[in-house]
């Protein structure tokens, strides 16, 4: 689809953008709260399967929607961005517990997906359905991370940031090879991401290093709630011992 055919008139933090951010902020807060306070185990399972079906369904709808505007291709449509991989991990985690994958999804999701929602490329949406699916895709990763922490007691363990950074720097190499072979830009390893975020700066390849450093700092910040939750759990155990 040519650039002039894209959805026009959208701006960063316009009423539509802010409404999506506010709506998902409410969902991130209310859904885990209701699950923790009011739902029994079977009802929580129903919520989990609803989330799984929704995530798979929105991905299928996203690819169908893309196909209405252009031919699907290897350059644009492989699920190789961090947020695509995180969504796959999120679905897997709702089906089968895995502490390591939760840590990866937590940092990639809460840092990467939230950044994507906060500062998207407002010129790259095909239609309003694309806007909805973009926000739903990223927001569901965050919702799953919060749900698993609140309902199932998932926590990032000591050394989680180091493990996440090691995997990140392993994963980028095969993705870079695919980028080079097909002329793509998955994980934005070939060109800067089209975002207005002030956290993305510099030219190739320096912006990749900058993104890693910024991502590391944000991961440290996002790790703080996990430290607090672990300490609260230890205090609770000591009182009941």
Helix, strand, or coil here: 120?
coil
CB-based contacts of 198: which residues, under 8 Å, 6+ apart? none
Mean pLDDT, residues 194-214: 79
Average pLDDT over residues 9-33: 96
- The answer to whether 67 and 156 are in contact (CB under 8 A) is no
How much of the chain, in percent, has pLDDT values that exceed 70?
A: 93
Residue 228's pLDDT band, with cuts at 50, 70 and 90, is confident
First to last CA, the chain: 63
Task: Name the more confident of 229 and 167.
Answer: 167
The whole-number pLDDT of residue 1 equals 44
Mean pLDDT of 43-60: 98
Mean pLDDT, all residues of the chain: 91
Is the pLDDT at 56 greater than 80, yes or no?
A: yes
**Greater confidence, 231 or 76?**
76
* Spatial distance between the Cα atoms of 137 and 58, rounded to a whole number of angstroms: 7
Alpha helices in 12-68 (DSSP H): 15-38, 41-67
pLDDT in tens, 162-194: 999 999 999 999 999 999 999 999 999 998 877
Identify the pLDDT of residue 179: 97
Can you give the pLDDT at residue 109?
Answer: 87
3 burial class (0-12, 13-18, 19+ CB within 10 angstroms)?
Answer: exposed
For residue 125, pLDDT beyond 60: yes
Give the residue-averaged pLDDT of 93-100. 96
Q: Mean pLDDT over residues 97-101, rounded?
A: 96
Instruction: Give 3's DSSP letter.
Output: G
Asked if pLDDT for residue 32 goes beyond 90, the answer is yes
């Amino acid at each position: 689809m040519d650039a002039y055919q894209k959805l026009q008139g959208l701006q960063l933090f316009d009423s539509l953008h802010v409404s999506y951010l506010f709506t998902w902020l409410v969902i991130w807060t209310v859904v885990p709260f209701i699950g923790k306070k009011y739902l029994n185990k079977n009802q929580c399972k129903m919520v989990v399967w609803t989330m799984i079906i929704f995530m798979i369904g929105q991905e299928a709808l996203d690819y169908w929607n893309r196909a209405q505007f252009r031919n699907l291709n290897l350059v644009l449509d492989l699920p190789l961005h961090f947020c695509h991989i995180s969504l796959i991990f999120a679905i897997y985690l709702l089906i089968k517990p895995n502490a390591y994958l939760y840590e990866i999804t937590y940092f990639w999701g809460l840092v990467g997906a939230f950044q994507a929602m906060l500062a998207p490329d407002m010129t790259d949406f095909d239609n309003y359905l694309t806007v909805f699916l973009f926000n739903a895709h990223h927001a569901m990763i965050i919702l799953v991370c919060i749900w698993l922490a609140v309902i199932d007691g998932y926590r990032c363990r000591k050394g989680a940031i180091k493990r996440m950074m090691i995997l990140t720097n392993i994963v980028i190499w095969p993705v870079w090879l695919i980028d080079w072979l097909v002329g793509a830009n998955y994980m934005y390893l070939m060109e800067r991401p089209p975002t207005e975020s002030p956290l993305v700066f510099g030219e190739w390849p320096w912006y990749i290093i900058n993104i890693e450093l910024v991502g590391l700092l944000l991961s440290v910040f996002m790790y703080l709630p996990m430290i607090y939750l672990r300490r609260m759990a230890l205090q609770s155990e000591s009182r009941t011992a």
